[in-house]
Structure 1
Amino acid sequence: MTTPQHKIGSGFGATSTADDVLHGIDLSGKLAIVTGGYSGIGLAATRALTAAGAHVVVPARRRAAAEEALKDVDGAEVDELDLGDLASVRGFAERFLATGRTADIVITNAGIMACPETRVGPGWEAQFATNHLGHYALVNLLWPAIERGRGRVVSLSSVGHRRSPIRWDDVHFERGYDKWAAYGQAKTANVLFAVHLDALAKDAGVRAFAVHPGGILTPLQRHLTREEMIGEGWMDEQGNVLATFKTPEQGAATEVWAATSPRLAGMGGVYCEDCDIAEAATDPEARSGVRSYATDPGEAARLWALSAQLTGIDAFAR
C-alpha cells in the first residue's frame, strides 16, 4: 500500500522554533483559533502567530488564567470553552460565528494526558471526549468560518498514539480503565480526525494535518507522579531531567509549520513531526513515525461516523 507519509525535506527539524518556521511569513489579516493557546506549547504558538501578524482567538477552560498569561500578547483574544462540555463548545462556536469573522487557521492544541478515570457528558471517557470529541464538535460547528478561510486545521496528536488504536468494542473504557491506553486511543483519534477531515474538506480548499509536537515538559504532565516520570525515563531519583525534551518554542514549531508552511500547499491528511511529514512506522518499538492504524482511511471514516453519532454534529452530513 502506498502512503503519503514521507519526509519532504522542509529545511527545519527537531530544534527549530515556532519563530524559525514563521520567518518571512506574513500573517497580517489572518485569524487563527488555538485551543489551549495560553499554556505550554499553545502559549508559544500564540506568541509566534501574533508576532507574525495574525490575530489569535484563544478559547480557554480557565478564562482568568488565559487572560493573565496573554495580557502582554498583542493580537490575542480570549473566550470561554470547555471541550468536555458540548454545550460550552456550541456556545463558543455560536459566539464566534455571530461575529462574521473567517477562521484561516484552527489548531486543536488543548488536551489532557493520563488522567485518573473521569467521566464527562453522558458518561464519556474524559481523554477521548476532551482531546477528540470536543475538538471534532468544535471544528464541525465552526465549519462555515473555516470554509470561508480556505486554510488549515491542525490536530495535535502525539507519539503516544502508538499506545492504542481505537478500541471499537469499548471506546469509553467501561470494562476497566487504563489511563495510558485511553491517552493512546485519544491521540490515535486525533490523527484519524485529520485524515478524514482532509478527505471531506479538501474540495473546499481546506486541508488538515495531524502533528506530534515532540516531548516537552509542560502542565500536560500534571497528572503524573515523580515515580511515574522516573519510570518513563524522564528524570532520575533526584528529580533531574534525563530525557531530551524540547522547549515550548520548539514544541510549538511543528503545529505552526503545519498551519502555515507553503511547502505543504496541495497536501493534507498526513501526520507530521519535527517540522516535516513523518515516515510511516514499521518498527513497533519506534518512538517516531506514525502507525498504520492511525492513518487508515477506513478507520478514519468509521471514527467520524461514531463521533457524529455521539455528538449529533456533522457539518458534512448529506
Structure 2
Amino acid sequence: MTTAQHKIGSGFGATTTAAEVLAGIDLTGRLAIVTGGYSGLGLETTRALTDAGAHVVVPARRRATAEKALQGLGNVEVDELDLADLGSVRAFAERFAASGRGIDLFIGSAGIMAVPETRVGPGWEAQFATNHLGHFALVNRLWPAFGAGARVVSVSSRGHHYGPVRFDDLNFERGYDKWLAYGQAKTANVLFAVELDRLARERGVRAFALHPGRILTDLVRHLDRRELVDAGMVDESGRVTGGAKTPEQGAATQVWAATSPQLDGLGGVYLEDCDIAEPAPADGTRTGVQDYAVDPALAGRLWTVSAELTGVNAF
C-alpha cells in the first residue's frame, strides 16, 4: 500500500507547545468546536485557540465542571453534550445549527481510556461508542456548518497499536479486554479521519488524526499505581517518568493539525510530534502509524458500519 505517511519537516517537535505552533497565526473571526475542551489537553487546546483570537465552543458532559475550569478565558461558550448518548449528540447539533454559525475548526479531543467493561446505548462497548461513534455522529450532524477551508481533527493515540477494529466483535461480546477495546477505539479515530477526508475534500474540508504524546492527565483515572508504573508513566514513587509531555506540549499536535498552513492541501494522514508520522516500524516499536489504521478499504468499511449503527450519514 502506498502511503502519504512521511514527515514533511515542520520544524516543530515533541517539546513544541501549542502557543509556539500558533505564533504568528491570527484566528480572529474563526469558530472552533473542541470536545473535552475543559480538561487536560482539551483545556490547553481551548486556551491556545482563544489566545490566538478564535471563538471556542466547548461541548461538555459535565457542564458545571467545564464552566468552572474555563473561568477567566474569554471567547468561550459551554454547551451540554454526552458523546455516549446519541440523543444528546443530536440535541447539541440541533442547538448549534439553530445559531446559524459556521465551523472552521473541529477538534475531537474528548475520550475515555482503559475503562472497566461498560455498556452504553443498545449495548455498545463504551470506549468505541464514546471515542468513535459519538464523534462520528456529531461531525455528520454538524456537517452542513462546515465550509471550505475547515478542518476536522480526530484525536487518536499511540494506543491504536494495541489492535485493529474487530469488525466481527465490535462490542467485545466474546471476552472484554480494556486495552484491546481502547486500541480499537483509537484505530477507529484514525480510520474516521481517513474516510472523512476522502468524502469531504471536494468541499474543501480536510481531516487529520494524531497521537498527542504521552501525558499524565485525568484520562488515566481508571488505572491504578501499578498499571501506571508498568506502562512507564510513573516510577515506583508515583513521579512522572522521563519522556512525558506537559499538557501544553501535548496540545500542540492537535492545534497544529487544526491551523497550520504547512498542512494546506493535505489530509487523511496521522500525525505525531507536530509532523506527519512515518509508517510503524516492523520491529513492533510503538511509533508511527499502523497500516491497518490508514487503510482506505478499512476506513470505508468502518464508515458504513458506523452509519448503520448511528443512523447518521451526511454523505
User: Same fold per TM (> 0.5)?
Assistant: yes
Please show how residues 158-307 of structure 1 align to structure 2 within 5 Å.
Answer: 158-307=157-306
Residue 279 of structure 2 contacts residue 289 of structure 2 at CA under 8 Å; is this kept in 1?
yes
Once the two structures are TM-superposed, the CA of residue 234 in structure 1 deviates from its matched residue by 1.8
Q: Output the CA distance in 2 between the equivalents of 1:183 and 1:256.
A: 23
Secondary structure of the corresponding residue to residue 177 of structure 1: coil
Q: Output the CA distance in 2 between the equivalents of 1:109 and 1:165.
A: 20
Q: Output the CA distance in 1 between the equivalents of 2:48 and 2:281.
A: 34
Once the two structures are TM-superposed, the CA of residue 242 in structure 1 deviates from its matched residue by 2.0
Q: Output the CA distance in 2 between the equivalents of 1:129 and 1:170.
A: 13
Residue 102 of structure 1 contacts residue 149 of structure 1 at CA under 8 Å; is this kept in 2?
no
- Structure 2-normalised TM-score? 0.99
Deviations 1:127-165 (A, max 9, x none): 00000000000000000001x253100000000000010
The letter for the 2-side match of 1:237 is E
Ranges in structure 2 where 5+ consecutive residues have no aligned partner = none
Deviations 1:207-240 (A, max 9, x none): 0000100000000000000011111122222222
Change (3 A) 1:88 1:284: farther
Once the two structures are TM-superposed, the CA of residue 284 in structure 1 deviates from its matched residue by 4.7
1:72 aligns with 2:54: no
Q: Output the CA distance in 2 between the equivalents of 1:284 and 1:87.
A: 44
What's the counterpart of residue 105 of structure 2?
A: 105
Change (3 A) 1:91 1:284: farther
Residue 102 of structure 1 contacts residue 145 of structure 1 at CA under 8 Å; is this kept in 2?
yes
Please show how residues 112-131 of structure 1 align to structure 2 within 5 Å.
Answer: 112-131=112-131
Residue 279 of structure 1 contacts residue 290 of structure 1 at CA under 8 Å; is this kept in 2?
yes
Identical positions, percent: 70
Change (3 A) 1:164 1:284: farther
The letter for the 2-side match of 1:129 is A
Secondary structure of the corresponding residue to residue 236 of structure 2: coil
What's the counterpart of residue 136 of structure 2?
A: 136
Give runs of ≥4 in structure 1 deviating > 3 Å.
Answer: none
The letter for the 1-side match of 2:299 is A
Secondary structure of the corresponding residue to residue 246 of structure 1: coil
- Structure 1-normalised TM-score? 0.98
Residue 216 of structure 2 contacts residue 233 of structure 2 at CA under 8 Å; is this kept in 1?
no
The letter for the 1-side match of 2:93 is A
Once the two structures are TM-superposed, the CA of residue 168 in structure 1 deviates from its matched residue by 1.1
Secondary structure of the corresponding residue to residue 103 of structure 2: coil
The letter for the 2-side match of 1:61 is R
Q: Output the CA distance in 2 between the equivalents of 1:152 and 1:63.
A: 25
Q: Output the CA distance in 1 between the equivalents of 2:242 and 2:92.
A: 38
RMSD: 0.8
